[in-house]
Chain A
Amino acid sequence: MTPKKTYIHDYCTIENNEIVLNGTSIFKAEPTTFGDFSKQAYRNFDIQYPKFFKMDALSKLAFLGAELLLSPITSSEKENNIALILANNSSSLDTDVKYQESISDKENYFPSPAVFVYTLPNICLGEISIRHQLKSENSFFIFDAFNTEFMSHYANILLDSDKADSVLCGWVEFFDDNYKAFLCTISKEENTKYKNQTIKTLYNK
């Protein structure tokens, strides 16, 4: 196959109590926990989706980033073939540790199905798919650090092979209240905004 050129359309970073969209800070909170920060962000953007409060922290983080990038470009009237490819380092370990605590003390043995379901990193892909009705390609990868090269290659493969019309990809790391999300949308549709940028340069900004 002859690979066609692909373009980054929009990107979003969430870290240190701040959300930056396409290089511009769009929400910033006073230093606080992620739980509080994510609730403030949800209210700030007036998101109407009560299921958000049932999600674990990793899903909330990925959900918020996806919300800002996908809401303007998806609609319930048409099929949205937007693939989701996310990666991180800590998998679902933040929730895994909490779940392990619920079974380690035999006097206090309370394994909860509502917690157990979030002990898989790809659950956040399911949450985003449900929210935006994306019946599309999705996969979750783990690396020691954000492998931007892999991510661009894999996004391009999905676009070149017509498995997706566009791709939402990125890094969603959460462990013990330390977090960083970087998400971007890529497609074959020409966009000159980030002509000289790559996932790597935007991530490291």
Chain B
Amino acid sequence: MTREIYITQTNCITPLGFDVVSNIEAIKGGNTGIQLHENTSLMPISFYAAIISDEKINGAFEKISTDKKYSRLEKMMILALEPIVKKSQITLDSKVAFVLSTTKGNVTALIPNSEEGFQNAHLDVLAKNVADFFGFTTQPIVVSNACVSGVLAISVAKRMIQSGLYDHAFVVAGDEVSEFVLSGFNAFQAMSDLPCKPYSENRTGVSLGEATAAVLISAEAKNAQIKIIGDSSINDANHISGPSRTGEGLFRSIQNALKEAQIQPEKLDYISAHGTATPFNDEMEAIALNRLGLQNIPINSLKGYYGHTLGASGLLETVIAIESVNQNILFESKGFDEIGVSESIHVIRKNENKNIDLFLKTASGFGGCNTAVVFEKVKS
């Protein structure tokens, strides 16, 4: 019999708050972390992004460690993991995996004369620094698969625990807003000149954001909120910097994940989608969802609250979606006005109460990658 896999704890560090409770309160209140920034060390022109203040990060970090050696991102990752590791009381032995998801890690170490040495730009060094803070004894597993990394990390952890290799996995995901990614998205003309508006008629692109999120994935049902019941990550095999027009990879990822979960598409109560607010991505998602008959399932993108947090997004959005399940509430897809995709989808316009037993999380990214994971509420 296949082992059942659960998410038993969650946490996140974002511009809206440094724990899940404060993030949910902010979302319920309709707040967004996206603001207008004028900072020429990040961008020659002003830009919208969701950025965490250094003071808040340092202030929170000082409460758990006086060590000065950690980078800003490492502090954010440690802050996300620390309460989970502590609360779990799990001995960090050979049956406990540490999975880290990021796209660019400490990319700021590449800036000429940066305080951090060049070595810190290596993702395995970042992972080791975070792992050693807690004393993980297994080799860190770093997932770096563009914008699906955060949700793919859940899938990797689930698969490894299911195979019996580990009993528990602590998963952390994070990325920062840097000059590197801002200039790159800007060069692609993919940046929105207003806070991003996923699925909307007048959407013009992404707002970038930064965050870290962490979860404990386990074969033990104790304290479990959510069960992971299906997952898949299929490539479009179409284009490296744009999604497939037919949504082929996403279509197949969702189809496979539902098949493994043994769930009929119409049984889903909610979809936490990717919704970056670029014209092509959102259109592609609408097409893939319609091909699967998922056009009437309530859907949101949380990018309107957090911006696109790259390698953190999939895990952060799963953490928030789990709270939707726990509190029986569907959150408004912030920034949405008039439908701006060619095939209809049921975008959530206002917070509403709803019992959620089954939900789907999706993500898509550069390189043609897509990931879909199906989750089920654990009935107590």
Interface, chain A (partner B; CB < 8 A): 1, 3, 84, 89-91, 93, 96-97, 99-100, 103-104, 106, 109, 111-113, 116-117, 119-123, 125-127, 129-130, 132-144, 147, 150, 153-154, 156-158, 160-161, 163
Contacts and interface: CB of A to CB of B under 8 A. Distances in A.
A4 B371 CA distance: 26
B26 to A, nearest CB: 30
B187 A141 contact: no
Contacts of A154: 156, 159-160
Contact of B143 (A135, A136, A139): A139
Given A93-B121, A96-B121, A161 B159 contact: yes
B139 A123 contact: no
Nearest to B235: A129
Nearest to A91: B123
Interface in B147-170: 152, 156, 159-160, 162-163, 165
A18 to B, nearest CB: 27
5 contacts: A91-B122, A126-B237, A126-B367, A141-B144, A143-B141
Contacts of B142: 141-143
A151 to B, nearest CB: 11
A157 B160 contact: yes
B141 A150 contact: yes
Contacts of A133: 237
B239 interface: yes
Contacts of A136: 234-235
A139 B233 contact: yes
B295 interface: no
Given A117-B240, A120-B144, A153-B165, A126 B124 contact: no
A88 B117 CA distance: 20
A144 B128 contact: yes
Nearest to A100: B110
Contacts, number: 160
Contact of B144 (A113, A122, A144): A122
A122 B145 contact: yes
A117 B123 contact: no
A125 B369 contact: yes
Interface stretch (B178-186, B317-325, B351-359): B178-186
B184 A113 contact: yes
A147 B165 CA distance: 14
Contacts of A1: 2, 163
Given A96-B121, A144-B124, A138 B233 contact: yes
A109 B139 CA distance: 39
Given A135-B237, A142-B142, A160-B163, A104 B366 contact: no
A73 B159 CA distance: 27
A-B complex: 9 closest residue pairs judged by Cβ atoms: A126-B367, A116-B184, A142-B142, A129-B235, A111-B183, A129-B237, A111-B187, A100-B110, A142-B123
Given A120-B367, A126-B366, A135-B234, 13 more contacts: A1-B2, A96-B104, A100-B180, A109-B183, A113-B241, A116-B187, A120-B366, A122-B146, A129-B236, A132-B237, A136-B234, A139-B152, A147-B139
A173 B237 CA distance: 23
Interface in B96-123: 103-105, 107, 110-112, 121-123
Nearest to B186: A111
A126 B370 CA distance: 11
B32 interface: no
Contacts of B232: 137, 163
Contacts of A100: 107, 110-111, 180
A137 B155 CA distance: 11
Contact of A139 (B44, B156, B187): B156
B368 interface: yes
